[in-house]
Structure 1
Amino acid sequence: MKILIADDDPQLVRALRITLAAHGYDVVAAPDGAAAIALAAKEHPDIVMVDLGMPHLDGVQVIEALRGWMTAPIIVVSGRAGSADKVEALDAGADDFVTKPFQIDELLARLRALSRRAPASADDPIVSFGDVRVDLAAKAVTRRGALVHLTPTEWQILEFLARKPGVLVTRQALLTDIWGTEQVTDTGYLRLYLSQLRKKLEADPSRPVHLLTESGMGYRLVLDNVG
Structure 2
Amino acid sequence: MSVALQPAAEIPLRCGEYTVTLRASLRAAVALEALPGGIASLWDGVARQTLTALYAVIRAAATDKAEADRLLTHAARVPLVQFLGPAQAASLALLSVVLDTAQGEASAPTGPRIPLRQFLTDLFSLATSWLHWPPSEVWNASLAEIAAALDAQADRELRLAGITPETRSDKTEQRQANIAAGLDPDFDLAAFEALQARLGV
Q: Which has the larger radius of gyration?
A: 2
TM-score (norm 1): 0.28
For CA contacts below 8 A with separation 6 or more, give which structure has more relative contact order: 2
Query: Counting helix residues as a fraction of each chain, which structure ranks higher?
Result: 2
TM-score (norm 2): 0.30
